[in-house]
A = this chain, B = another copy of it.
């Protein structure tokens, strides 16, 4: 197979080099975008009179045939043709003859691959945004449906204060909302047409880049041809958004794992979303959650990978940049899988409301409420805090809970304490009181859910 650059060369490429440098084994994933881009390019070339309408027609028909062949699995990708661009072009030339050779006019693989990649990332981001929106909806619904459940809120994996399960759930909804916003902002920088930058310098041919942009639904046209073929910050921004998203996923997954342990026992994951053990018959393992948590590593690694590739590369295109694709593909696939399964898993979890409440009643999680109670009675916060600490110490030393003490006992710690202290030491009372904006009282959480749903529209 003669290489497209064969003219200048006297020796043939070695086979091991061909294997080392080929990208068709993974960049074939770009076929749809490559064909779409070529069709738009061909239409522009004929509109501008650079090639004939007839040639353009042939090219477009040829490309559509190739589309069908690939879709139906009838297309043979050939490694010796290096990449997706050459594979499709070679097939086109075979199909429509010389006209096919016209397609590469005013175009280089440098701007072509930048185009394909932007189309790929754009489509991925749009899909991910859709999946995030669905996940947020499911979380808001879950919150709405569990407003009655009180649970312990944790800091340091220690019970801290009672909260609504719905509030906890909404915390994740807020995170994923920000993730969605980030991807949305990234789109502004992704959705820019690089085609027409050619190898690096632009062209002398009278191309119309705005026309191509409108055919391919790009918001704008890149402003500098060298920048267009050599930068990949749009890809890095995508990977960064993905890494932060996976950080959030890993936190939620961690909690699913903990909550489905025998020790916590807060939730049961549906059988369909768990797996068993080949040796221990009693096991029901939260494998899906664990794998999600594990896949964080993959996405962090992909980000680090491309950051490393791009570090210190001089202008403009360098072959190192061929290494941009696999981290992107792997990340998009991972996000797609995780975000598809997560809502289904959430919808198939059963919370143990009794155990959640019981846990939030125990472990002095309303101690802060006693402290606030004392503040309301006029003590400075630090003093109130210290008195409450002594009450807790007393309970710990005597194996008691806060509701086991009688008024007399309480008053040994502070004469400010009166009968109404018993109104603040139940977890329900504690939760109901937290009416501040963004707080955990049912009223505040309902308002939060309402605002959230409005923002989803």
Q: How far is A274 from B11 in the complex, measured between Cα atoms in Å?
A: 10
Q: What are 16 A-to-B residue pairs whose CB atoms are below 8 Å?
A: A8-B390, A13-B275, A21-B288, A154-B200, A155-B229, A155-B277, A155-B285, A156-B290, A160-B200, A171-B315, A185-B188, A196-B436, A201-B439, A281-B389, A297-B308, A297-B310
List the B residue with the shortest CB-CB distance to A387.
Answer: B7
Interface presence of A207 (CB below 8 A):
yes
Residues of chain B contacted by A389 (CB below 8 angstroms):
5-9, 276, 281-282
Assess whether B293 is in contact with A320, with CB atoms less than 8 Å apart: yes
In-complex Cβ contact of A156 among B207, B244, B286, B296 (8 A): B286
In-complex Cβ contact of A5 among B223, B278, B435 (8 A): B278
List the B residue with the shortest CB-CB distance to A433.
Answer: B204
In-complex Cβ contact of A282 among B8, B99, B263 (8 A): B8
Residues 389-406 of A, flagged 1 when their CB comes within 8 A of B and 0 if not, give 111110010000000000
Interface presence of A75 (CB below 8 A):
no
In-complex Cβ contact of A200 among B155, B206, B229 (8 A): B155
Interface presence of A321 (CB below 8 A):
yes
CB of A431, distance to nearest CB on chain B (Å):
8
Task: Among A8, A109, A293, A305, find the residue whose CB has the most chain B CB atoms closer than 10 A.
Answer: A8
Assess whether B20 is in contact with A439, with CB atoms less than 8 Å apart: no
Interface size class of A (residues with CB under 8 A): 35 or more
Q: How far is A281 from B77 in the complex, measured between Cα atoms in Å?
A: 25
Residues of chain B contacted by A171 (CB below 8 angstroms):
224, 226-227, 230-231, 315-316
Q: How far is A17 from B273 in the complex, measured between Cα atoms in Å?
A: 6
Interface presence of A65 (CB below 8 A):
no
- Asked if A196 meets B437 with Cβ closer than 8 Å, knowing A230-B171, A237-B240, A243-B307, the reply is yes
Interface presence of A19 (CB below 8 A):
yes
Q: How far is A454 from B252 in the complex, measured between Cα atoms in Å?
A: 44
- Asked if A296 meets B283 with Cβ closer than 8 Å, knowing A205-B372, A233-B244, A359-B263, the reply is no
Residues of chain B contacted by A66 (CB below 8 angstroms):
none
List the B residue with the shortest CB-CB distance to A296.
Answer: B311
CB of A62, distance to nearest CB on chain B (Å):
14
Assess whether A287 is in contact with B319, with CB atoms less than 8 Å apart: yes
Assess whether B277 is in contact with A160, with CB atoms less than 8 Å apart: yes
Assess whether A153 is in contact with B251, with CB atoms less than 8 Å apart: no
Interface presence of A255 (CB below 8 A):
yes
Assess whether A314 is in contact with B154, with CB atoms less than 8 Å apart: yes
- Asked if A308 meets B296 with Cβ closer than 8 Å, knowing A17-B273, A281-B371, A389-B6, the reply is yes
Assess whether B282 is in contact with A225, with CB atoms less than 8 Å apart: no
Interface presence of A329 (CB below 8 A):
no
Residues of chain B contacted by A4 (CB below 8 angstroms):
276, 278, 382, 385
Known: A12-B271, A174-B224, A251-B312. 11 other contacts (CB 8 A): A9-B276, A21-B287, A108-B280, A158-B262, A171-B227, A171-B316, A175-B233, A203-B436, A250-B311, A254-B312, A255-B315
Q: How far is A302 from B445 in the complex, measured between Cα atoms in Å?
A: 35
Q: How far is A237 from B372 in the complex, measured between Cα atoms in Å?
A: 36
Residues of A79-108 whose CB lies within 8 A of B: 85-86, 93, 98-99, 101-108
Assess whether A281 is in contact with B243, with CB atoms less than 8 Å apart: no
Nearest 4 A-B pairs (CB), nearest first? Answer: A7-B389, A202-B439, A5-B276, A301-B305
